[in-house]
Amino acid sequence: MPKRRRGTQSHRAHHRTPLGPSRGLHRPFEVLVERALAAIPEPFASALDEVAVVIDDEPTLEQLRESGLDDDETLYGLYQGVPRTAWGAGSVPIPNKISLFRLPLEEDFPDPRSLEEEVRLTVIHELAHHLGIDDDRLDELGL
């Protein structure tokens, strides 16, 4: 399963935050995600119709384990599903999901401009996995 691994932090309690109206101090994060999604050009933007985008506070222990991460590593985003390049006539469609992890991003990028850029890169990175681009190629592209 593709992963976006960056930063180090201790594990905190896991809470889910739905993508939607902003609340309290976390308002900017939802706005940054909405901006990043809105800025994706066609034909790539249409691929977002096939993927649920959710904001979670941080990855679950299961997501970290499945991604092969050490205890001091975390994820900024995670694509779960079947990439377009793996779809076949006999395939059973399963939901595709991009999770964006707010707390690790906000902790590692306290500057608003840096946070906005990293959210943008993380959205692009995870959407690229849905389009069938693997981590090695994304590294070559600087993503």
pTM: 0.76
* pLDDT digit string, tens, across residues 49-106: 889 999 999 999 999 998 899 878 899 999 998 787 766 656 656 778 999 999 999 9
Length of the chain: 143
Percent of the chain with pLDDT over 90: 45
* DSSP result, the chain: ---EEE---------EE-SSS--GGGHHHHHHHHHHHHTPPTTTGGGGGGEEEEEESS--HHHHHHTT--TT-EEEEEEES--GGG--TTPPP--EEEEEEHHHHHHH--SHHHHHHHHHHHHHHHHHHHTT--HHHHHHTT-
CA 143 remoteness from chain centre = 12
CATH fold group of domain 4-140: Zincin-like (3.30.2010)
Q: Is the pLDDT of residue 131 over 60?
A: yes
Q: Is the pLDDT of residue 48 over 50?
A: yes
Domain ranges for the chain, please list them: 4-140
